[in-house]
Chains A and B, each alone.
Chain A
C-alpha cells in the first residue's frame, strides 16, 4: 500500500518522498511509542524487566556463577556487545560444567524470543501451555529488551480488562 502512496505523491509533484517499508509493524516491534486509542495498552515490552543477567560469548563460566545466582531467573543471556541475544546459559550448565569453559561452549543457542508488541494475554497463554515462566523480549534484529514474566503478563491482561 505505501509504495503506491509514494508513487502517487510523486505524480503530484512531491520531490522528496520516502517509503518506510517495514511500516507500523516494525515500529511497534521496536517497542517505540505510538499515539492513538491503543497508546496506553500494555504489551509484552511494557511489562518486560531489564534485570536479567547477561554475559559475553567468551566469558568463562567460572566467573559467572555469582551473576546467575543473583539473577531472579536462574539463567543468563549470552549477548553480543550490541545486545543481540545469542544464547541462554542455565544455572545447571554452570554447576556441571568446566569453570574454564566459555559461555558460548555451554549455552543453549538461539533461545525463542518474542517481540515487544505481543499482547500480554496471548503470550501468557502460550507460556502456560509450554509450562514456561518467562519470555525473552527482543527487537526484530534480536537486540535484548528484557524478560517478561508470565505472572506480570497475566496481571497486565487483568488490568486491561481482557
Chain B
C-alpha cells in the first residue's frame, strides 16, 4: 500500500529526486500544478501512460485534497 505523505516529507522526497504526478483532469493541471509535476489523469492512468515514469525512482501522486 502506498505511503501517505505530508508537506515536510514531500519536500524531502522531491529533494531526493522523486517524480511528482498530478492525477487531476488536464484542465486543472493546466491552470496550476506543483512545480515539476507531470499530468496523468486518473482516468488515463494505464501501463502505457505510466511508461512516462521511471520505475527506479520514487513516485508521488496528488490530487486536490483528501476529500
Chain A residues with CB under 8 Å of chain B are 1-10, 12-28, 30, 32-39
Contact = CB atoms under 8 A, between A and B. Distances in A.
Contacts of A5: 21, 23, 40, 42, 45, 61, 63
Interface of B: 1-7, 9-10, 13, 18, 21-24, 29-37, 40, 42, 45, 47, 50, 53, 55, 57-66
B23 A35 contact: no
Contact of B31 (A9, A22, A23, A37): A37
Nearest to B40: A5
Nearest to B23: A5
Contacts, number: 131
A9 B33 contact: no
A2 B32 contact: no
B61 A24 contact: no
B65 A24 contact: yes
Contacts of A13: 55
Given A3-B2, A7-B2, A23-B62, A33 B55 contact: no
A116 to B, nearest CB: 14
Contacts of B59: 9, 14, 16-18
15 contacts: A2-B62, A5-B21, A5-B40, A5-B63, A10-B1, A14-B50, A14-B53, A16-B58, A17-B59, A17-B61, A18-B2, A27-B62, A36-B29, A38-B31, A39-B32
